[in-house]
Structure formats: structure tokens, C-alpha cells
A and B are shown apart, each in its own frame.
Chain A
């Protein structure tokens, strides 16, 4: 099976990301990597819950006074939608529609960027009102958990943008199909983590 073989929609395999051995390895390796990432975030969540609202005596900041659900709701919607658009991209990959895939990947990037801007705005706001990184154990745990997710978003965006640009003129091959596939897996993972952040940090913070 050669990497440079050109395919038509008729000959394009059912699971292009898993035809070559390299593709199979990448596919499995990436799933395993996400398993480790899950433990990574689990550790961050556990620490956040232990340090939630903890600070020097008389601290005025708490989840109730800080968080604004409407903003976070918009962020959640942007990210959830971007997960959906990346599914569309994969759908087009299976159907050997290169332009469709690139377009939906680009839309995914735009939605992700929107999310990122709002997050930067949010962090900036907190720092402005004095809730800085070193203000308390709570602030450290909050920024580290949500910030680690944010860094994942940045990495995901850079990765997908590079993929789109690098392959713009090349069309599909069995060499780049696994790359697109793992990038979209990563993007879903980021989305799932955000769902937990939204629930555990923001919803349970304001309501619970």
C-alpha cells in the first residue's frame, strides 16, 4: 500500500485512517495518549475540588461572586458546535470530499478561536478585579485547571491550521488521513474536558 497512491471516491477505503500500519499505530497510540490525558485532567479536577474557595483568611473571592454563567454558556456553545463541525469534516473525509473537509475544519478553527478570545477576556477580567494567579490556592487551582484546558485549545488550533495549510494543495492520501483523524479526536477530547469544566467549575460553583 503506497502513500502516494491517488484514490477516487470509489476506491477510497471505508476507514482511510486505519489502512496503513502507520495509520493504525497512530490511531491506537493517540487513543492511549488521550487515556493518559484523562488521568492528567482528573488530577487537576481533584486538586481544584480540594482547593475550591480556599484562600488566605478573609478572602472575598468565591465561585459565587466570580463566575458569570451567560459568558460561560456562550463559550460552551461555541466549543460544542466546533466539535460538531469537526464531525462534519470527518464525514467528508470518509466520502472523499476534500474541499468539504477543509471547509468544515476551517469553521472548527474559527469557532475555537471565538472560544479562546472569550476565555482570554474572562481571565483578563478576573486579574483586573484582583483575582490573580497567586492570590490564593483557589485562584492557582482555577487558573491552572482552566488554563491547561486553554493551552490544549491553542495546541489543537495550531495543529489543525497547520494541517489545513500543509495539505491545501495535496488532496487526500493515506498519509494525511490519519493526521486529520487524530486531530479531530483531539478536538473532541478538548470538548469533553470542557463539558466537565463547565459542570464542575462553573455550574457547581454558582449553583452548588
Chain B
């Protein structure tokens, strides 16, 4: 079992990835699948901007437009941004804390497959009678009335992929709490690990309300329940509460890892310790906590009353304080640093003004009386794209360049990377800055067209041209990736030369057991400390070389997921097709049986023996 460097055929590699429980391979799967959904969501975005490029356009119909914006938002949040971040967390966090694997490798794989099949299910709606069309928020007042099966695809698909995210969150939490190397105290954990930790805690408490909300929607639409139907005593506002109790923490689930990535980048390329490390940790935890207190700022116009609105307005504004702390800490990290403007650093520098702009509009919207004007206008669209694209997506692009050598032992081209950056960055501001003014001029969000005499033509056209710039940037990135993979030049250890944290201390390519010997962490930025002291190996070890215990690969996560996937079709056609209930039962049976097999069959894993470890010089 312990021989590593066998050349495999194509079929064997596929089987390897279908059954893998290695966090580094699962990271690649997340990245690939998330990247694919990112491209799909991007194409949907382009369709939206083509439709809105000129007044009275009939490029797509009103109904199709609603489907496109719904799928764009849902895809980008649930299937692109979050999974890609999960990919980086998987790739980096265990290495940063000196762990050989995550706490639950099996569940890690299960989480990925659930996400993927949930996403596929959701997107199958395009080919099976129409996509969901009630917006990514899917307010019950709209979604109950939506004909066809689009909303059912939305509810069931998100249920499956949400379960995957939830499992992933628990896995990360336990990994960080239980599996840190000796010396890796909480206050020595790199910021990427800290933000993974807090984001996972948010997942743990934010996803259950979404699960319940989605179940209500499923039960109402497919099983005759009446949660949201007011003629039967139901109440549609319940959906809005449940959705936003999930939804606001969700935006922090996205942005906190982005903060983590940028914290790593600022320290690395300023060649300086992160300024205000402990206040960064404090701010991260505080943001996570406050993130649960503000959901009703999405519901100011619902009519909860002035008291509720006032409380939620003040709580929302309070979040700007820890966020501001972070911005100043980053600035002071760069201050006086010996700065190297690589591609990741470019993204980080571009992130600061962009995200600050998004934060400022956020505080504006938090003023409830003003929000009555701004709500459901293009101003909102501008705000959330400034925080999500200017924050999360820039972080993802930065991390792609930063961690590519760690994940693939290759370096993406810096030159092409800079082209991508400038196209994307300029295009981004061109597209969304002007939408603030469209909003102030009265253009509502989620409209499929506008009239020529409304005075919105020029700004919409500029916005659409900006989108083309972003698309060009992404295309250059894809070319960059293809060239890099084709060239396949190995980069070796410490590819950025100034690595500070443990993940950069590992010999490249990273061996599948990560650490031959568990490292001893001697401070914040432990790799930097070792280098300063002239330690050629980059690590002090906490143990002699000894046998390593590894988990076995397993096909069960895949089968369990397929079961749920099948069951979802049964639920979807319940009461409409005669085969619906048998299919539902069959799918659930597949899942439950594979669960039973998993728990009844002992699986102790295997050991890599000391002698084999001694023979291999650090890896493959």
C-alpha cells in the first residue's frame, strides 16, 4: 500500500479521484468543479449584460431573463465562490497547522460529492422544463406561484449541496481544534486558518435555518404543506427570516476566507509580520459573531416596525468597526515593508479600495430610512458586487496564483497574470461603479429591460462594456492555466522565496502524507523563524520518523451522493408521475444502505512503514 510513485493509466486516475479521501486531491476537485460553475455563472452574467446593453432589447424574453439572473446568483454564491474557497481551505489549512490530513477524510470526500451533485441537479433544470426564476433569495411569495419545476430544482439542489457544505464545516472545525501540530497554539495560527475556523463555525450555525427554510419550500410545493400560504394560515415572511438568518452569515462565510487569503498575501509580499495579528484574530471572531445579529437589514422595507429597524441598523453599522480594523492593519502591514508586487499582491492592493467602497455603501444601506430609497434598486446590485467581486472574487483570483505552486508544483505566468488583473480590475469598476448612479436614478434591480426615454441608456452600455473587459481577463487566465499545465515546469520548494508559514516549508511536490515527521511550531510565521536561524530543512521536528497511519480510499461517498441525487428526482415529480415515490424510496435506500455498510464494515486504514519513509527522499 505504501508504494507511491506508480504511473497510472487514465482509468486508474479517474478511479483514484472518485474514491480519494486525500485533502489535497479533494481540494483540486473543489477547484475544478467550482471553476466550471464559475464559468457557467459568468456566461449567465454576460447574457444579462447583453440584454441590458441597450433599451427595449429583446435578446432574451422576460421569463428567460428571470431564470438567468436567478441561476447566475445561485450558481455564483453556492456553486462557485464557496466551493472554490473550500478548495483553498482544503489545500492549505491542514498544511498550515502541521496536520497529516483532516479530521474526517471520508466526510471530506462526501462533502465534495454532495456539493457537486447538488450543483448538477440545479443546473439540470435548464434541460428539464426551465430553471428557477424567483431570484437567488427565492422569496416564498414569488416562488410558491412559480409554475413548472424550476423552484423545485432550486430547493432540492441547494438542499443536497448545502448538506455537503455543512459536513465540510464540521470537518474543518474539528481538524483545527484537534489536529494542530505541537506548538501550534491558537494564537500562532495563520490568518487563513483562523478565517477558515470562523467561517466554518458560521456554516455550522447558519446552514440549519436554510435547510429548514428549503424543507418548508419543498413541503409546500411538493407535499401539500402550508407554511407560506396565507389563505391556509401560513406566513411568507417566515421564509424571509429563515433565508436571511442564513443569508447574512453566508456573506461572511464568503468574505472571511477572502480576508484570510489577503492577510497571508500582505505579510508574504511585504516581507513583514502581519501588523496587529491579535487584533486581526479578534476582529475575525467579532465579525463572525455580529454576522448573526444583523439579518433583518435585508428586510427594512418589510414593515417590522421602527424599533426592530433601528436595532438592526445600529448592529449592522457596528460591523464596520472590526472590518475597518482589518483594513488599517493591512495598510500598516504594507507600510515600511519591502514590497514585491507579484500578481497576488496586485490583487491584494486592488482589493483594498474596492472593498472599502463596498463597505461604505453597506453602511449607507444600513441607515434604514435611506434604505427605503435604495432597496431593490441597482444601488444594491452595485454594493454587493463591490463586496463580493471586489472582495471574494479578487481573493479567489489572488489565491489561484498564490497557491498554484503549492497545489500543482508549477507557477502560473506572472506576465499573463498581470494582464488578467488589469482587464478584470478595470472591467469590474467599469461595470459596477456606474450602477450606483443607475440605482440613484431609479433603475430597479431584476428588470429585464428599460425604455429609451428613461435616461439610463449610456450608463447601462458602459456597464456592459465593463463586463466584456472582465470576460477577457478570465479568458486570459484560462489561457495562462492551459499554457502552465502544458509546460509543466516544476518550481520546487518555497516558490515565492519569502514563505512564512508551514505550508511553504514542505518539500515539493507535497507528499501524500504531508509531513514525514510532525513539525514543532516555534512561533507565528514558524517557517520564517527557521529560515532566519539558518535551518536548511525549514522545520524543527517534534518526533522521530515513525509509522504513519493513513485512511483508506472509499467509493461510498460517491454512492451515497448518487442515492440522494436519485431521491431528489423522486421528490421533484411527487404527485405527478407514478414512478416518483418508488424512485424517492430507492434513492434514499441507496444512501441509507451505503451508510450502513460504512458503519458495519470496519475500516482501520493502513500504515506507511518507517523503512519506506526512510527510503523515499521526501515524497514522490
Cβ proximity bits A126-145 to B, threshold 8 Å, 1 near / 0 not: 00000001101111110010
Q: A133-B224, A137-B229 given as contacts; is B212 within 8 A of A28 (CB)?
A: no
A54 touches B103 (CB 8 A): no
| Chain B contacts for A55, CB-based, 8 A | 232-233
| Chain A contacts for B179, CB-based, 8 A | 21, 25
B182 touches A (CB below 8 Å): no
Choose among A36, A137, A138, A166 the residue that contacts B166 (Cβ–Cβ < 8 A): A36
Measured CB to CB, the nearest residue on chain B to A29 is B174
B233 touches A56 (CB 8 A): yes
| Chain A contacts for B245, CB-based, 8 A | 43
Measured CB to CB, the nearest residue on chain A to B167 is A33
B170 touches A47 (CB 8 A): no
A71 touches B (CB below 8 Å): no
A37 touches B602 (CB 8 A): no
- Taking the nearest CB of chain A, how far is it from the CB of B547, in angstroms? 11
Q: How far is the CA of A164 from the CA of B174 in the complex (A)?
A: 27
Q: A36-B205, A43-B209, A137-B226 given as contacts; is B232 within 8 A of A29 (CB)?
A: no
B602 touches A36 (CB 8 A): no
- Taking the nearest CB of chain B, how far is it from the CB of A109, in angstroms? 16
| Chain A contacts for B229, CB-based, 8 A | 137
List B155-178 residues whose CB lies under 8 Å from chain A.
Answer: 166, 170-171, 173-174, 177-178
Q: How far is the CA of A28 from the CA of B215 in the complex (A)?
A: 27
B208 touches A (CB below 8 Å): yes
Q: How far is the CA of A162 from the CA of B599 in the complex (A)?
A: 9
- Which of the 9-residue segments B234-242, B296-304, B405-413, B459-467 touches chain A? B234-242
B223 touches A133 (CB 8 A): yes
Q: How far is the CA of A129 from the CA of B325 in the complex (A)?
A: 61
B205 touches A35 (CB 8 A): yes
Q: B interface, by DSSP: helix, strand, loop or mixed?
A: helix
| Chain A contacts for B170, CB-based, 8 A | 29, 32-33, 36
Interface range, B side: 35 or more
List A131-187 residues whose CB lies under 8 Å from chain B.
Answer: 133-134, 136-141, 144, 162, 166, 175, 179
List B189-246 residues whose CB lies under 8 Å from chain A.
Answer: 204-205, 207-209, 211-213, 215-216, 219-220, 223-227, 229, 231-235, 238, 242, 245
Q: How far is the CA of A175 from the CA of B604 in the complex (A)?
A: 9
| Chain B contacts for A37, CB-based, 8 A | 208
Measured CB to CB, the nearest residue on chain A to B175 is A25
B104 touches A (CB below 8 Å): yes
Interface centre among A29, A56, A138 (most CB of B within 10 A): A29
B174 touches A144 (CB 8 A): no
B489 touches A (CB below 8 Å): no
A44 touches B (CB below 8 Å): yes
Choose among B166, B173, B216, B604 the residue that contacts A47 (Cβ–Cβ < 8 A): B216
List A18-76 residues whose CB lies under 8 Å from chain B.
Answer: 21, 24-25, 28-29, 32-33, 35-37, 39-40, 43-44, 47, 50-51, 54-56, 59
A56 touches B232 (CB 8 A): yes
| Chain A contacts for B234, CB-based, 8 A | 51, 54, 137, 140
Q: A28-B178, A162-B596 given as contacts; is B225 within 8 A of A35 (CB)?
A: no
Interface range, A side: 35 or more
Cβ proximity bits B492-518 to A, threshold 8 Å, 1 near / 0 not: 000000000000000000000000000
- Taking the nearest CB of chain B, how far is it from the CB of A176, in angstroms? 9
Q: A55-B233, A162-B599 given as contacts; is B242 within 8 A of A43 (CB)?
A: yes
- Taking the nearest CB of chain A, how far is it from the CB of B436, in angstroms? 35
Choose among B173, B208, B216, B233 the residue that contacts A59 (Cβ–Cβ < 8 A): B233
Measured CB to CB, the nearest residue on chain B to A140 is B225
Q: How far is the CA of A140 from the CA of B209 in the complex (A)?
A: 17
- Taking the nearest CB of chain B, how far is it from the CB of A61, in angstroms? 11
Q: How far is the CA of A44 from the CA of B207 in the complex (A)?
A: 14
Measured CB to CB, the nearest residue on chain A to B103 is A25
Q: How far is the CA of A166 from the CA of B174 in the complex (A)?
A: 27
Measured CB to CB, the nearest residue on chain A to B592 is A158
B600 touches A (CB below 8 Å): yes
A39 touches B209 (CB 8 A): yes
Choose among B178, B207, B233, B242 the residue that contacts A137 (Cβ–Cβ < 8 A): B233
| Chain B contacts for A162, CB-based, 8 A | 596, 599-600
Q: A35-B205, A56-B233 given as contacts; is B173 within 8 A of A24 (CB)?
A: no
Interface centre among B104, B171, B208, B215 (most CB of A within 10 A): B208
23 CB-based A-B contacts, threshold 8 Å: A3-B604, A25-B104, A25-B178, A29-B103, A32-B173, A32-B174, A36-B204, A36-B208, A39-B205, A40-B209, A47-B212, A47-B216, A54-B233, A54-B235, A56-B231, A56-B233, A134-B223, A134-B225, A136-B233, A140-B220, A141-B227, A144-B227, A162-B600
Closest 6 CB pairs of A and B: A54-B233, A137-B233, A134-B224, A140-B225, A40-B208, A137-B234
- Known contacts A136-B232, A140-B220; 10 additional CB pairs below 8 A are A3-B604, A29-B103, A51-B238, A134-B224, A137-B226, A140-B225, A162-B596, A166-B600, A175-B602, A179-B599
B contact set with A: CB distance below 8 Å: 103-104, 166, 170-171, 173-174, 177-179, 204-205, 207-209, 211-213, 215-216, 219-220, 223-227, 229, 231-235, 238, 242, 245, 596, 599-600, 602, 604
A contact set with B: CB distance below 8 Å: 3, 21, 24-25, 28-29, 32-33, 35-37, 39-40, 43-44, 47, 50-51, 54-56, 59, 133-134, 136-141, 144, 162, 166, 175, 179
